[in-house]
Amino acid sequence: MNFADRLKQLPSASHLAALHLLGTDGQVLATIENKPGQGGSLVVYAALGALYGGRITPAAASLGLEWYAEHVADARAFPGKHPNIDRLLAWAQGSESFGVQVVLV
């Protein structure tokens, strides 16, 4: 399934202003905002957080990569072009889990 079709199946994130991704120490590592260019990533990360108890585990990261579908090959070919996918690629290979903190509208 391609990314656009997957997004249609995931819960809406229209009630979110942003998501903060938290390191193991609770510090904000990254923020994904509800704005053009980040909306799809907001939906993916919010759904992963909901499925995995507010955490992005290595298993959650792997599932997220499946959801990003055709964009993963482009992210691998051009590191830095898709930072939200790059993050999942790294996290899927690790053993740590990262928190997801929602920021409501």
Position 58 scores a pLDDT of 98
Position 52 scores a pLDDT of 98
pLDDT band at 23 (very low <50, low <70, confident <90, very high): very high
Please tell me whether residue 13 adopts helix, strand or coil conformation: coil
DSSP 4: H
Q: What is the dihedral of CA 104, 8, 68, 78, to 10 degrees?
A: -90
Instruction: Please state the rounded mean pLDDT for residues 25-36.
Output: 97
Give pLDDT tens digits for 36-88: 999 999 999 999 999 999 999 999 999 999 999 999 999 999 999 999 999 99
Whether this model's pTM surpasses 0.95: yes
CATH number of 3-104: 3.30.70
Cα gap 94→92, rounded to integer Å: 6
Q: Which amino acid is at 93?
A: Q
Position 85 scores a pLDDT of 98
Position 4 scores a pLDDT of 97
Query: Which helix (H) or strand (E) segment is 5 a member of?
Result: helix 3-9
Position 43 scores a pLDDT of 98
H/E/C letters for each residue in 38-91? CHHHHHHHHHHHHHCCCEECHHHHHHHHHHHCCHHHHHHHCCCCCHHHHHHHHH
